[in-house]
Structure 1
Amino acid sequence: MKSSLKVIGTLAVAALALAACGTSSGGGSAAGTLKESIGAGEGQVSILGWPGYVEDGSNDPKVDWVTPFTAETGCKVNFKPFGTSDEAVTLMRTGQYDVISASGDASLRLIAGGDVQPVNMSLLKNYPDVYPFLKDKAWNTVDGKNYGMPHGWGANLLMYRTDKVTPAPTSWGSVFDGASSFSGKVTAYDSPIYIADAALYLMKHKPELNIKNPYALDKDQLAAAVALLKDQRKHVGEYWNDVVKEVQSFASGTSVIGTTWQVGANIAKADGAKVETLLPSEGATGWSDTWMIGAKTKNSNCAYKWLDYIASPKANAAVAEYFGESPANPKACALTTDKNFCETYHSGDASYASKIWYWTTPIAKCLDGRTDATCTDYSEWTKAWTEIKG
């Protein structure tokens, strides 16, 4: 758990960004075509990623999967961490990066903006081993084209103080309609994508709104979610995007109920906090990250080699355990230090995974299949989030 704490602590100081890379030369693919083979590495690859995804031993000498990659491929890794998906998109669009680990609230923006390229998955020998429920999804596949290698995944859980919240909650209603019971001590994730959590709750409890997908909201549905979140705002003590600070708030009692990640719960329990987590009755939002390649990269061979390497059992196990998430490759489970790790993170549990609505960028084309309506896009969600927080 110490290594996870170290990683999450890094999130607090990382730049708030997600960035996009460029198209391929050096054996790469022209626009609209797929790369047909992977040649010799170009000698380097620049990577944007969540802190803890690209470790070379500098944070912890015992945590290093970059050095073996360079030794194997000859590709030197230049890494830049980001702290939020919004920052990542901004950075990627500078064209300075070859590869990015994009969460679902960033990937469609990068695809729509032409910032990343389709990937020939048949060239990646570890792809067949990836859990089927992570493949060909809305956040990594568009018009039948795959845009990258699935990475780790997890749910946005409900965490509560067992000595402060009784009876134990079973629904997200405890932080929405029931938030007044914990006024000033409710916490929520600080991002426009959190609007989807409210939409998921409304989807289950207000069927008359006809919400079928929490990331596909027309103007009326978005307005209902915003209204719910404005009501919740009166009872929120703090919004978080740094899990370490969130854990500290639960330990001190400043927060007693709200969203978290499994790694946050693990850290809190290791520190002696009286907390429990659950996947509420409505299900939950969550994330499934994708390693994507920039549309204009000049290092496409090294980029492909990284996508394949990071999904290999040994590397995937190391990343998942260090960061605190389920691996994408089930073969990684036999290689984790904690032999109960994959059980804790529900790896391979398709039933559990089916209850998660993975982050997906809201776009004008309704993701629920509607053709008689226009949905609100991420820019509208961003504006709404500013209004919600005041």
Structure 2
Amino acid sequence: MNKRKTVRLLAGLACVGTVLASCGTTGGDSSQGAPGGQGFQPPDLAALETLGEPEGQLNILAWPGYAEDGSNDPAVDWVTPFEKETGCQVNVKPFGTSDEAVNLMKTGEYDVVSASGDASLRLIAAGDVEPVNTDLIPNYPDVYDFLKNKTWNSVDGTSYGVPHGWGANVLAYRTDKVKPAPDSWSVVFDENSPYRGKITAYDSPIYIADAALYLMKHRPELGIQNPYALDDKQFTAAVDLLKKQRPMVSEYWSDYLKESQALKNGDVVAGTAWQVTVNLTEAEGAPVSSVLPSEGATGWSDTWMVSAKSERKTCAYQWLNHIISPEANAAVAEYFGEAPANPKACDLTEDPKHCDNYHAGDAEYASQIWYWTTPIAQCVDGRTDVKCKDYGEWTRAWTEIKG
């Protein structure tokens, strides 16, 4: 991990979603997907058939750190090479939450967006993004197969974007305080945890999925098959678990730099984190490590998508191809702190161990991750005899949990 690069990242990378109002979508974990198909019919939009002449401009909506042009750090720039190669002048608008990204895409002002799994299906269902013709993206065949055609970036086999990067929400812990080394989320969920009052948790309604994931293994009688598909009984159990956890939590985080500081200071000793947080904290001298617990973990997989309203689709496709090129994908993965989507990027990172540290090509590791997906009333685990709690109910419950 390049500490200089990481510290310069903009803070506030919270990925949260809002209600998927009246349009059913579905999602899934890293490998299984949702039985029975997607469960909704997206608007009838066609993918681009052929590329034309570059339109000369491209408006990008991106997570901070995903489209760097040298303005934050002159040494960090993969936008300028794209501009020189294509003639597409780039305007970048960073966003801080998935909610913000979804709302901004509705304006039609942006050509492409980097969408997390709690936003991508909302964009598809609303008709704000269109299918992507991957035949027009020369670098697409190089992308790891386990990231393609998943339930958060495709519908019934139709791709709606290109995978960009991914990562797990790991269990971080202070090695000098948490002994023996943990291998279960029980250190943060068990009400008898010796680390009570020193626990940190992710500040978002989507964190309810982390509790549901824990209950999948520890209360099998609930029958949870997917942490984003919770009926009334399952949802109540997850919410109750988080309410019991609330007095144990010292700090909820959405800014990973603040979480890093809390771990470094010893204000917290265990909790959910991104691998970039662990690497940064360790690089600054704190005794911190991480583990993917035995129950698995939630996580994210981001997708670059094309606006259905874009009038600059040739430039948009050229960006999609550029951002998953070995050079650009290596640069963004290392700067942001995630696993790249293109395995060829692993030969180009400054840190030769970057891909090993982030488990880039480890399909077995990835199969233990349940990627963020917007919960909806149509149960994404395939059940049709019950209704599941949608994100509006998750949001209301989260407010009650935090008090």
**Shorter-chain TM-score: which interval?**
over 0.9
Tell me what 1:5 maps to: 6
CA root-mean-square deviation:
1.8
2:38 matched to which residue of 1? none
Give the structure 2 partner of residue 348 of structure 1. 361
User: 1:1-390 to 2 correspondence within 5 Å?
Assistant: 1-8=2-9, 10-12=10-12, 32-178=45-191, 180-390=193-403
The Cα shift of 1:329 comes to: 0.3
Amino acid at match of 1:362: P
| Contact 1:209–1:221 (Cα < 8 Å) also in 2 | yes
Letter in 2 for 1:101: S
Contact (CA 8 Å) 1:185, 1:254: kept in 2 or not? yes
CA 1:157/1:285 → structure 2, altered by over 3 Å: closer, same or farther?
A: same
Give the superposition deviation at 1:71.
Answer: 0.8
Alpha-carbon distance change, 208 to 128 in structure 1, aligned in 2, over 3 angstroms? same
Letter in 2 for 1:149: V
Asked if the contact 2:186/2:193 (under 8 Å) is kept, the reply is: no
1:308 deviates by 0.9
For residues 87 and 123 of structure 2, the distance between their equivalents in structure 1, rounded to whole angstroms, comes to 28
Percent identical across equivalent pairs? 66
Deviation of the 1:67 alpha carbon: 0.4
Does the 8 A contact of 2:162 with 2:303 survive in 1? yes
> In structure 1, what is the Cα distance between the partners aligned to 2:269 and 2:248?
12
| CA distance in structure 1 between the aligned counterparts of 2:333 and 2:309, rounded to whole angstroms | 29
TM-score after normalising by structure 2: 0.90
Conserved 8 A contact 1:320-1:327 = yes
CA distance in 1, matches of 2:292, 2:14: 30
Equivalent residue letter for 1:238: E
For the 8 Å contact 2:16–2:204, the answer to whether it is kept is no
Q: Look up the equivalent residue of 1:273 and give its one-letter code.
A: A
AA in 2 matched with 1:165: V
Q: 1:314 is aligned with what amino acid?
A: E
The AA in structure 2 aligned to 1:147 is Y
* Cα shift at 1:16: 8.4
Post-superposition offset of 1:90? 2.2
Contact 1:286 1:359 in 2 (8 A): yes
Please list the CA deviations of residues 181-233 of structure 1 after superposition, one character each: whole Å capped at 9, or x if unmatched.
Answer: 22221101111111111110001111111110111111221111111111111
Q: What secondary structure does 2:251 align onto? A: strand
Conserved? CA contact 1:17–1:90, under 8 Å: no
Q: Secondary structure at the match of 1:255?
A: coil
Going from structure 1 to structure 2, the CA distance change for 1:249 and 1:309 (only over 3 Å counts) comes to same
Question: Is the CA contact (8 Å cut-off) linking 2:130 and 2:308 kept in structure 1?
Answer: yes
Change (3 A) 1:4 1:196: farther
* Number of aligned positions between the proteins: 378
Change beyond 3 A, Cα 1:230–1:15: closer
Which string of whole-angstrom CA distances, capped at 9 and with x for unpartnered residues, describes residues 165-194 of structure 1?
122211011101146422221101111111
| Distance change >3 Å, CA 274–CA 15, structure 1 → 2 | closer
Query: Is contact 1:192-1:382 (8 Å) kept?
Result: yes
Q: Which amino acid aligns with 1:73?
A: T
Q: Does the 8 Å contact 2:264/2:286 carry over to 1?
A: yes
| Aligned partner of residue 68 in structure 1, secondary structure | helix
1:285 is paired with a residue of what secondary structure? strand
CA shift, 1:117, in A, is: 1.0
Evaluate the alpha carbon distance shift between residue 63 and residue 191 of structure 1 in structure 2; reply closer, same or farther with a 3 A threshold.
same
Measured after TM superposition, the shift of residue 138 of structure 1 is: 0.9
C-alpha distance 299-179 of structure 1, shift in aligned 2 (>3 A) = farther
Retained in 1: the 8 A contact 2:3–2:283?
Answer: no
Structure 2 counterpart of 1:274, which letter?
A: P
- 1:24 aligns with none
* Secondary structure of the structure 1 residue equivalent to 2:109: coil
Q: Is the 8 A contact 1:179 1:232 kept in 2?
A: no
Could you list the per-position Cα deviations for residues 44-79 of structure 1 after superposition, in whole angstroms to 9, with x for gaps in the alignment? 111111111001111111111100101111111111
Distance in 1, matches of 2:207 and 2:17, equals 17
Give, in angstroms, the shift of residue 86 of structure 1: 2.1
Once residues 147 and 60 of structure 1 are traced to their aligned partners in structure 2, the CA distance between those partners, rounded to angstroms, is 32
